[in-house]
């Protein structure tokens, strides 16, 4: 088992190094300048898919969205548009959250349901925020679950453990006990949690948070171009409708 974990960590380390190539996190001012997208290894430039390249059933499945969503009121425009990790026929939606945030816990119910029914051209990803020491600690838990291929089992459960059961999971030992419920040996957890790969993922998360200019959680970024928060809508359902609306704008040419 330990050899398998070591092999997985080695594989992820190579990917993480590629993702960090060309990235800089010196200060927030660098975020304001337009980057050379070709220098960001592991991140593809944002490309709006052509409608002709998509199957008809994918377009039919795309919710039309309310016509009264307004730029500047319900969402903002990121300038410059940021590169994405998605393919040319996909629209990337990134949910930036923290396990410690009650608002993120509340939104997670809506995101999970939306993820099951979203349009076929949407590539949904989660990204932890790392602005504080506590957020960074929970981000390590998030990436450890990814590295151990346990995210599907642990993600919602970790939210519930903190916000429903009142277990802060704020030490490595408590996290190890939590992961053990999902069949993870404590030694394997410790190896992943303290690995170079997870720390590289943290640095890349910090870089992306800066590029997206994240100031609150949860935040939603659509195709590296639009950003919104739950405070911009009246309900979780309306937030999901806004995400669908912005994704459809992009698939139809923005």
Q: What is the mean pLDDT of residues 207-225?
A: 97
Q: Place 68 in a pLDDT band, splitting at 50, 70 and 90.
A: confident
Domain count, the chain: 1
pLDDT at 198 over 60: yes
The pLDDT value recorded for residue 254 is 63
The pLDDT value recorded for residue 174 is 98
Sign of the alpha-carbon torsion through 58, 60, 63, 65: positive
Determine how many CB atoms are found less than 10 A away from the CB of residue 121: 23
CATH of the domain at 203: 3.40.30.10
The larger pLDDT score, comparing residue 240 to residue 3, is at: 240
Distance, in Å, from the CA atom of 148 to the CA atom of 144, rounded to the nearest integer, reads 6
Q: What is the mean pLDDT of residues 48-63?
A: 49
The structure tokens listed for 167 are: 């277990």
* In-domain check, residue 108: yes
* In-domain check, residue 30: no
Domain coverage including residue 204: 2-23+36-251
Q: Kindly report the CA angle at 11 between 99 and 200, in degrees rounded to 5?
A: 45
The 10s digit of each residue's pLDDT in 148-158 is: 999 999 999 99
* In-domain check, residue 126: yes
The pLDDT value recorded for residue 88 is 87
The 10s digit of each residue's pLDDT in 90-141 is: 999 999 999 999 999 999 999 999 999 999 999 999 999 999 999 999 999 9
Q: Place 1 in a pLDDT band, splitting at 50, 70 and 90.
A: low
The pLDDT value recorded for residue 75 is 97
pLDDT at 8 over 70: no
The larger pLDDT score, comparing residue 203 to residue 5, is at: 203
Given a contact cutoff of 8 angstroms between Cβ atoms, the answer to whether 97 and 218 are in contact is: yes
pLDDT at 234 over 60: yes
The pLDDT value recorded for residue 61 is 46
* In-domain check, residue 29: no
The pLDDT value recorded for residue 196 is 98
């Amino acid at each position: 088992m330990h050899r398998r974990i070591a092999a997985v960590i080695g594989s992820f380390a190579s990917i993480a190094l590629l993702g960090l190539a060309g990235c800089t996190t010196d200060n927030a001012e660098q975020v304001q300048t337009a980057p050379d997208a070709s220098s960001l290894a592991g991140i593809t430039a944002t490309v709006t898919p052509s409608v002709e390249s998509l199957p008809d059933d994918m377009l039919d499945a795309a919710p039309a969205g309310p016509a009264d969503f307004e730029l500047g009121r319900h969402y903002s425009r990121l300038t410059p548009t940021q590169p994405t990790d998605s393919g040319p026929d996909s629209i990337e939606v990134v949910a930036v959250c923290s396990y410690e945030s009650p608002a993120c816990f509340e939104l997670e119910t809506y995101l999970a349901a939306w993820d099951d029914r979203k349009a076929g051209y949407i590539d949904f990803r989660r990204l932890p925020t790392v602005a504080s020491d506590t957020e960074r600690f929970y981000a390590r838990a998030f990436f450890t679950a990814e590295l151990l291929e346990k995210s599907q089992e642990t993600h919602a459960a970790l939210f519930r453990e903190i916000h429903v059961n009142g277990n802060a999971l704020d030490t490595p030992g408590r996290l190890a006990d939590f992961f053990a419920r999902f069949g993870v040996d404590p030694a394997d957890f410790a190896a992943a949690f303290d690995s170079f790969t997870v720390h590289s993922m943290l640095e890349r998360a910090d870089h992306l948070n800066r590029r997206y200019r994240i100031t609150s959680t949860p935040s939603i970024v659509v195709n590296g171009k639009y950003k919104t928060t739950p405070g911009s809508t009246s309900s979780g359902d309306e937030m999901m409708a806004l995400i669908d609306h912005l994704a459809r704008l992009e698939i139809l040419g923005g």
